[in-house]
Amino acid sequence: MARAWQRMLSGRRLDLLDPTPVDIEIEDIAHGLAFVARWNGQTQGDYAYSVAEHSLLVERLFTRMYPVAEPKWRLTALLHDAPEYVIGDMISPVKTAVGPDYGELDKRLTSAIHIRFGLPAETPKRIKAQIKRADRVSAWMEAVQIAGFTVTEANKLFGKPDEGHIDGLTIDLRPPLAVRADYTTRHAELLDLL
């Protein structure tokens, strides 16, 4: 039988077919996400735009868009792409081509990650939709600022964002280790609020 687990830098073995919360460590998530490039690496700059950096931006946007959101939902926003630390970031067309198996794997990993950090295994639909809105604003910013899209193209693909949500926010590409540190720090800050 083929191996379906991955050894993490923490020493944990994460079974991808049956992930358990005990095998989830934030350091592994932060490290993996800091080295996974969004946009298949097709971004401008000296460093790849990582999923960790994207996740920090989504949490920040979510907090701006929903300022009364409970800390657990802000943490959920930070962790919204956490499974990608082991399965990578697939662009939407590839996810569609892979089919429902990708979604099931993502769902199992998300549940284990959420349970590990004291969140509901399944995110309520309303909160998931709010995080998705913040995710789309992030995608718009990324498209325009670092992925070479025109504003017109980004508006068509992701919807024009409310200027108040993005005011003063810019994407600065940074080394993976700096992003990893910020991700773990933000995770700890949000855990302290729970």
For each of the chain's 194 residues, which pLDDT tens digit applies?
Answer: 677 899 999 999 999 889 999 999 999 999 999 999 999 999 999 999 999 999 999 999 999 999 999 999 999 999 999 999 998 887 777 777 777 778 888 999 999 999 999 999 999 999 999 999 999 999 999 999 999 999 999 999 999 999 999 999 999 999 999 999 999 999 999 999 99
3-state secondary structure the chain: CCCCEEECCCCCEEECCCCCHHHCCHHHHHHHHHCCEHHHHCCCCCCCCEHHHHHHHHHHHHHHHCCCCCHHHHHHHHCCCCCHHHHCCCCHHHHHHHCHHHHHHHHHHHHHHHHHCCCCCCCCHHHHHHHHHHHHHHHHHHHHHCCCCCHHHHHHHHCCCCHHHHCCCCCCCCCHHHHHHHHHHHHHHHHHHC
pTM value is 0.95
- Domains in the chain, please, with CATH? 23-192 (1.10.3210.10)
